[in-house]
Every structure is written in C-alpha cells, then in structure tokens.
C-alpha cells in the first residue's frame, strides 16, 4: 500500500499501518480507522436494533436476561460456561424462560460478573427517554423522572428515566 | 510511581508491539516487523468448530503467545513468565515488579481496556499490554493500540487479567530478564521464513494456510444460513474488514508487516531476490485490502445476495492462489541463500 492511500482522518481510533513510503522504503505510519470513520453509524444502528428487538422479546417473556446479555456480549454457551464456571447444561437451561426461575442467586452473581453489570441489572432493563423534542405541554414539571413498570416477564421490570429539559 | 525510561509507542499488533517495546527498553534495537517475522507470526486459519466461537472466524497470525515462545527458543532472549491462581498474588507481584522499575507485559481481556473506544472493545483474552507504573488505584499502561500512556483502575485490571473463557489469561505476565548483545540474523531469517512457508503451504489441516483460505472462500457462501437476520450477516461480513485492518494487523491482514520484514531481511542479507519478494507480498496485502473494502461496502449496503458473496468468495480464492504461488517462490529464494 502506498503511503498516500493509507491516511484516514479519524482521530478517535488511531492505528499503525505498514506502507510503502514516498521514498520507496517500507515502514509504519499512524492513521485513523477506515471502517470506523465510514461505517460507525451503521454499527450503532445495528447494535440499537438488536438491543431493541431483544428487549421486546425480554419484556414478553420470550427470552431470559441470560440469553439477552449472552447475545449482547457475543458469547456462545461454551464460552459463557467457561466465564461463569456454570455448567453448559445449566447455561442452556437458564436461557429458557422456565429454566431461568430455577437459577440460584449465586448463579446470577456469576452471570453479572461475566456480563460486567450489577446483579440487579439482570432483573431490570434501564431505558432512558429524552423528552427534549416533545412539545412543552407534554413535558413534565420535574426535570428527571424515574418510573418502574412491570412487564409480561415476571422477573424483569423496566426502569425508565425520563429527561424533561426545559 | 512511573517507569520514566520506558518509551511508549503505538504498534501494528499488540503482541509483537509489546515485545518490541520491552526489548528496546532492555537495550536491544529491533523493529516490530523483525520480531513478527522471526517469530513466524504470519498465518491463516479458518475456524468454524472452535467450541467457544459463536460464529466462524478467520485468523491471520499464530496463536497468542506463540510469537514470544518462538522468539525465546530462537534467540538468547531470556523471559521471566508466570501464571497465577490467586488474583491477590498476581496483583502483589505486579506491584512489586513495577516498584523495582521493571515494565511488565500482561495478557488481558481486551473488553476491560476502558480507555479504548467502546465500539472497539470486544471480549478477547488475547490482548497484551505493558504495565509501566501505578498511581493510587490506577495502573499506567502502554497499549499498542492507544496513542499515549493510558490509565486503568486496578479492579478493571484484575477482571481483565482473570477473565475466564477461551485462552483465559490466568494472570499471565512476563518481563525480559536479559537480551543478547546481538542476534544472528543470518541464521535465524531462513529458519523463521521456512517455518512460515510450512505453515502456509506445508502439510496442514484443510482449515490452515492457503487450504484454509480456500475453505474460507467456500464456506462464506453458506454464511446467510447460519446468521440470525440480514443485520447479523452484514455485521459478520463487515467484521472481515475489522479482522484484516483494524484488529492490530498493520493493514492487509499482516501482509504489509510481513512485506516490511522481508524488505529488512533483504537488506541484512543483501539479497535482491528477497527484496522482490517483499514487493510481491505488498501486492498480496493490497489484494486483501481490496477484500476488506469490498466486504465493508456490501455489508453496509446490505447487498448480500449470492452474487456478491460469490464475488467475495472469488476474491478470497484468488488470494489463496496468489499466496500459494508466492510461498513456492519464496521457498526457492530461501533455499538459495
């Protein structure tokens, strides 16, 4: 690769590329990430869509929190088992809605550690709603409101944080 | 405290970058491509049956840790390595070494390196950083993928060093005890290149080397059947670009780094033929780069019908042909040295 073709202006993600320099020598240059500069918005859109669709399934009790976070972290059953120390058989069971209710608190603690979240987040989904664009009449007096609502999933509540900036 | 004498530099790849920085700190002048090449780091593997993977992936360099082991075996560089069962002992030992002014390389789960942008951080127990200081509850680390020295809280460091799963680090750390005054490049270069040639075109399983590239080119046509939906397929296809360019390869799936190694070898051995092979390897890298651009484009556009996947498959297959011819020629060149 020629040096002039290698430069990408993307400061948040820098990396080292080896190139053929203008003087014919080969060596490293510091540049930006091509894919992050050009396709990061697509990555976030896909991530948000996946999270939303999983959250809907979680609310309807079609999936369990273990399955939700397993997909978010891109683990498979074997990897999750290795990271938690819970047997593969149990990991599979805890991803089924009737199996999740038999999980022990100590199991949830292990899952939470592997997913890098507090244990409480396995049983609640945090949703932030920014009401900035809503008409003034629909905004609440309080600038921040925290609401908890039940879902069809007996183990999961939605904790919604509403932001009402005036 | 901070080890002031340690010079932080970014590098193409975390393992070769960490190793190069530690060797330089110890007084041995050596480049990252030379470390990568002498450790026979270049590789190809299409992994579809590894139990920990949620989706097939391809690898472009040897198993993590192998580079250092080969360097240790082939040179007189002496490493001090250790794994731990106890998290406390691992932390105490790390603190002790830093206190003595010794920079220490640690194997970590990349996910916990919270100074790295969020979109980059994935669970991978194969990342290497160098710890060069500690201030309060924070370690100062030199990471090849970050432009300056970074800080990481000791709790995160502990999680990163003791993450479970495939290739779990188990607190692994190493530092360099001693380096030789010089390295006998003339002896080592042919040996390390022959090893790479064997990895790529020697007798290998069908998922390794150029045979692995051909397996990859065939299997990619079946990816739509093993993905959840079009977004998932797009994500996996676009990861081809990430694996080839962004995940510490120096571009073109390590091929540019290896081309630079071959160029340096040609200068050391004053061998013009090796210089020509370096040029050819650069061109092979360009072909991989075209694949990565193409994959990113069709992934973004969700243009993932069989026609496009066949085009992608053909491009990968052409790389296999080009690399097979290249290593055969390189074998002749090396045998004549």
Q: State the average pLDDT for chain A.
A: 93
Q: Which of residues 181-200 of B touch A (CB under 8 A)?
A: none
Report the DSSP pairing between strands A124-130 and A157-163.
Answer: parallel
**Residue B257 sits at the chain A interface (C-beta within 8 Å):** yes
Summarize the confidence of residues A112-126 as an average pLDDT.
Answer: 95
pLDDT at A141 > cutoff 90: no
Q: Which residues contact B317 (CB under 8 A, 6 or more apart)?
A: B213, B214, B217
Long-range Cβ contacts of B308-314 (<8 Å, 24+ apart):
B309/B220, B309/B221, B309/B223, B309/B224, B310/B221, B312/B220, B312/B237, B313/B217, B313/B218, B313/B220, B313/B221, B314/B217
CA distance A73 to chain B (A): 7
pLDDT at A26 > cutoff 90: yes
Partners of A86 on chain B (C-beta within 8 Å) are none
Q: Which positions in chain A have a beta carbon within 8 angstroms of at least one beta carbon in chain B?
A: 1, 6, 12-20, 25-28, 30, 33-36, 38-40, 42-44, 46, 49-50, 73-76, 78-79, 82-85, 114, 116
pLDDT band at B337 (very low <50, low <70, confident <90, very high): confident
CB B243 within 8 A of CB B60: yes
Task: Say yes or no for a CB contact (<8 Å) between A1 and B285.
Answer: yes
pLDDT band at A135 (very low <50, low <70, confident <90, very high): confident
pLDDT band at B311 (very low <50, low <70, confident <90, very high): very high
Q: According to DSSP H, which parts of chain B are helical?
A: 14-25, 32-38, 66-74, 87-99, 154-161, 185-201, 209-219, 230-241, 255-268, 272-300, 306-335
Structure tokens at B130: 């160098």
Q: CA B322 to CA B300: how far, in whole Å?
A: 28
Residue with the larger pLDDT of the pair A162 and B271: B271
Task: For residue B34, give the chain A residue with the closest CA.
Answer: A27
pLDDT at B144 > cutoff 80: yes
Q: CA A149 to CA B16: how far, in whole Å?
A: 51
- Mutation target for A interface from B123, B160, B254, B288: give the one with most A CBs within 10 A: B123
Q: Tens digit of pLDDT for each residue in B117-137?
A: 999 999 999 999 999 999 999
Residue A79: which of B165, B235, B242 has the nearest Cβ? Answer: B165
Write down all domains in chain B, each with its CATH number in brackets: 14-30+78-178 (3.90.70.10), 185-335 (no CATH)
pLDDT band at A84 (very low <50, low <70, confident <90, very high): very high
CA distance B192 to chain A (A): 20
Which residue is it, tokens 């020697």?
B202
Task: Say yes or no for a CB contact (<8 Å) between A36 and B246.
Answer: yes
Q: Which residues pair with B130 in a beta bridge?
A: B105, B142
Q: So where are chain A's domains?
A: 3-36, 41-119, 126-163
**Residue B260 sits at the chain A interface (C-beta within 8 Å):** yes
Q: Residue A166 has what pLDDT?
A: 60
Task: Say yes or no for a CB contact (<8 Å) between A15 and B12.
Answer: yes
Q: Tens digit of pLDDT for each residue in B67-101?
A: 999 999 999 999 999 999 999 999 999 999 999 99
């Amino acid at each position: 690769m020629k040096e002039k073709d290698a430069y990408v202006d993307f400061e948040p993600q820098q990396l080292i590329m080896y190139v053929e320099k203008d003087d014919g020598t080969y060596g490293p240059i510091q540049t930006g990430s091509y894919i992050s500069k050009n396709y990061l918005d697509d990555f976030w859109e896909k991530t948000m869509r996946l999270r939303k669709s999983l959250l809907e399934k979680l609310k309807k009790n079609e999936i369990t929190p273990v399955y939700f976070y397993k997909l978010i972290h891109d683990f498979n059953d074997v990897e999750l088992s290795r990271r938690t120390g819970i047997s593969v058989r149990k990991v599979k069971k805890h991803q089924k809605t009737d199996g999740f209710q038999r999980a022990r608190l100590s199991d949830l603690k292990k899952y939470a550690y592997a997913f890098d979240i507090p244990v409480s987040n396995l049983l609640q989904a945090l949703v932030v709603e920014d009401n900035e664009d809503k008409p003034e009449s629909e905004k609440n007096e309080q600038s921040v409101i925290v609401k908890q609502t039940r879902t069809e999933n007996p183990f999961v509540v939605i904790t919604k944080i509403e932001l009402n900036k005036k | 405290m901070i080890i002031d004498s340690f010079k932080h530099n970014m590098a193409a790849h975390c393992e070769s970058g960490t190793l190069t920085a530690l060797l330089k700190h110890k007084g041995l002048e050596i480049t990252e491509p030379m470390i990568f090449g002498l450790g026979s780091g270049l590789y190809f593997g299409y992994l579809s049956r590894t139990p920990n993977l949620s989706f097939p992936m391809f690898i472009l360099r040897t198993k993590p840790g192998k580079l250092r082991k080969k360097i240790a075996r082939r040179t007189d560089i002496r490493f001090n390595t250790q794994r731990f069962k106890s998290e406390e002992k691992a932390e105490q030992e790390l603190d002790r070494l830093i206190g003595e002014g010794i920079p220490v390389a640690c194997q970590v789960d990349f996910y916990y390196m919270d100074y790295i942008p969020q979109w980059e951080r994935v669970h991978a127990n194969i990342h290497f950083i160098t710890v060069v200081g500690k201030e309060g509850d924070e370690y100062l680390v030199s990471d090849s993928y970050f432009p300056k020295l970074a800080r990481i809280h000791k709790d995160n460091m502990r999680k990163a060093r003791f993450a479970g799963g495939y290739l779990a680090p188990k607190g692994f750390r190493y530092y360099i005890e001693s380096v030789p005054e010089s390295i006998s490049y003339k002896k080592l270069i042919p040996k390390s290149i022959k090893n790479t040639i064997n990895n790529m075109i020697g007798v290998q399983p069908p998922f390794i080397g150029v045979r692995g590239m051909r397996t990859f080119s065939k299997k990619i046509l079946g990816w739509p059947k093993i993905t959840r939906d079009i977004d998932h397929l797009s994500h996996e296809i676009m990861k081809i670009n990430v694996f080839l360019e962004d995940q510490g390869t120096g571009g073109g799936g390590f091929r540019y780094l290896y081309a630079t190694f071959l160029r340096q070898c040609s200068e050391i051995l004053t061998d013009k033929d090796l210089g020509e092979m370096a040029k050819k390897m650069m061109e092979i890298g360009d072909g991989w780069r075209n694949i990565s651009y193409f994959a990113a484009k069709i992934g973004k556009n969700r243009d993932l019908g069989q026609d496009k996947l066949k085009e992608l498959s053909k491009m990968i297959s052409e790389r296999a042909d080009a690399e097979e011819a290249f290593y055969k020629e390189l074998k002749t060149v090396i045998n004549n040295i």
